[in-house]
Amino acid sequence: QLLPRLRLLVSHFTTHPFHSTASVLTKASAANMSVEYSKELHIALLAVQRATILTKSVFNSHAKGTLSKSDTSPVTIGDFGAQALIIAALQHHFPEDEIVAEEEAKDLNENSQLRDLVYGLVTDAKLDNEDIEQELGGGIKGPDAMLDIIDKGRSLGGNKGRIWAIDPIDGTKGFLRGGQYAVCLALMVDGDVKVGVLGCPNLPVSDSEPLTENTGANATDAEGKGVLFSAVLGEGAASRALGKGKLENAHPIHMKPVSNVSDATFCESVESGHSNQSDSVQIALKLGITKPSVRMDSQAKYGSIARGAGDLYLRLPVNKNYVEKIWDHAAGDLIVREAGGEVTDTEGRRLYFGLGRTLKENKGVVAAPKEVHGKVLQAVKEVLNAHPL
């Protein structure tokens, strides 16, 4: 009992593991307990927090510098800038680690005006505590250095060694619409997710604020909003207010126990092109759920169910060719599991992150509290098997 408790204390309840928790750390080492991944967690939290300073500034501006990628999905100057800032911090602390990140520098290489715009955002996005800013390695040296940094995220992934997965803005469509989005970072070791962090600038700070149909609709990115979710494998999940400098205090989060699945609130994508919204209606019907789904962009869905603000997250394939990307799920999967949930694909397999940049062997997502996951999965299978894609 003591070991997980102490580790949780060390990794989640400290704002600065290298200074203020010296006494806890000493106790841990005296008892020969390892405090695994506390530095990785600390740097990941700060890197995500700094990146949200940039994304918030773009969210609040009219010109979001949107481009269309080869798969026709959007990317903005916010995505490029956030990716550059996160990779710069990781390289400063963990130069040997590999990085799988969503965006690439190609479009900025071909457009110097856009490149300079992004570089301007990157130099402006600073944590309001100079020591902590320096701890992340300070700024990026110039626009060309920034392009190189963005392209450090081109690792092919796999099941060997330490690999970070970055989604600099998850839910770019939501970001453009004024809805929810998340800045997502996870560390995998030998294909297993060990650390996950989600920065959700448009979610309420309070874990107890219920989700409604309008959560995220016209989110205003107001002061006093925003939450950072985190988890370390085996050490539980936590949330804290998203700040601008020193990390705020964290507290543990848990899925809400669901005794009767018909009372559950389920979350799904806003975009019907990302998740089949007519299948979800059928599944809800089978489970006796009468509440309408809460539609929300990004991995904010994983964070929301992990803190008990919602109960289920269904992501139902819309076509048979789409393969999910590891950066869209790595952090959220760990946070939900560490909060007491179970996450599988629509066929009941655990999400497996060790196969490269995509989740090749998985189809969709079913995330639910452990005690009802089996029942939800059964309903998902019945509905999906009735009309194969």
Q: Which residues does the annotation place in the binding site for Mg(2+)?
A: 102, 167, 169-170, 328
Burial label for 268, CB within 10 Å (0-12, 13-18, 19+), is buried
- Residues serving a catalytic function are 79, 172
Going by C-beta distance under 8 Å and a sequence separation of 6 or more, which residues neighbour residue 275? Answer: 268, 269, 314, 315, 316, 317, 318, 364
Going by C-beta distance under 8 Å and a sequence separation of 6 or more, which residues neighbour residue 223? Answer: none
Give the residue closest to Mg ion by C-beta.
170
CB nearer to ligand A3P: pick between 81 and 174: 174
Q: Binding mask 57-96 vs Mg ion (x if CB under 5 A, - otherwise)? A: ----------------x-----------------------
| Min dist. Cβ of residue 265 to ligand A3P (A) | 16
CB nearer to ligand A3P: pick between 91 and 358: 358
Q: b/e string for 44-58 if b means 16 or more Cβ within 10 A?
A: bbbbbbbbbbbbbbb
Number of other CB atoms surrounding residue 145 within 10 Å: 14
CB nearer to ligand A3P: pick between 10 and 118: 118
| Alpha carbons 209 and 284: distance in angstroms, whole number | 23
Cα angle 204, 207, 213 (rounded to 5 degrees) comes to: 60
CB nearer to Mg ion: pick between 141 and 360: 360
CB nearer to Mg ion: pick between 170 and 345: 170
Q: Phi/psi at 159 (nearest 5 deg)?
A: -110, 25
Q: Which does 318 bind (CB under 5 to 8 A by kind): ligand A3P, Mg ion, none?
A: ligand A3P
| Min dist. Cβ of residue 170 to ligand A3P (A) | 4
Task: Find the helix or strand (DSSP H, E) in which 172 lies.
Answer: helix 172-177
Beta-bridge mates of residue 237 = 231, 253
328 binds Mg ion (CB under 5 A): yes
Which of 40, 97, 98, 170 binds Mg ion (CB under 5 A)? It is 170
Indicate the annotated binding residues.
Answer: 102, 167, 169-170, 328
Q: Phi/psi at 121 (nearest 5 deg)?
A: -65, -40
Q: Which does 269 bind (CB under 5 to 8 A by kind): ligand A3P, Mg ion, none?
A: ligand A3P
Q: Which residues bind ligand A3P (CB under 6 A)?
A: 73, 102, 167, 170-172, 174, 269, 271, 273-274, 297-298, 318, 322, 325, 328
Find the distance separating the first CA and the last CA of the chain, reported in whole Å. 46
Q: For strand 312-315 and strand 365-369, is the pairing parallel, antiparallel, or unpaired?
A: antiparallel
| Min dist. Cβ of residue 292 to ligand A3P (A) | 17
| Alpha carbons 338 and 233: distance in angstroms, whole number | 7
Which of 98, 102, 151, 342 binds Mg ion (CB under 5 A)? It is 102
Q: Which stretch binds Mg ion (CB under 5 A): 166-174, 187-195, 250-258, 338-346?
A: 166-174
| Min dist. Cβ of residue 330 to Mg ion (A) | 11
Residues making contact with Mg ion (CB under 5 A): 73, 102, 167, 169-170, 172, 328
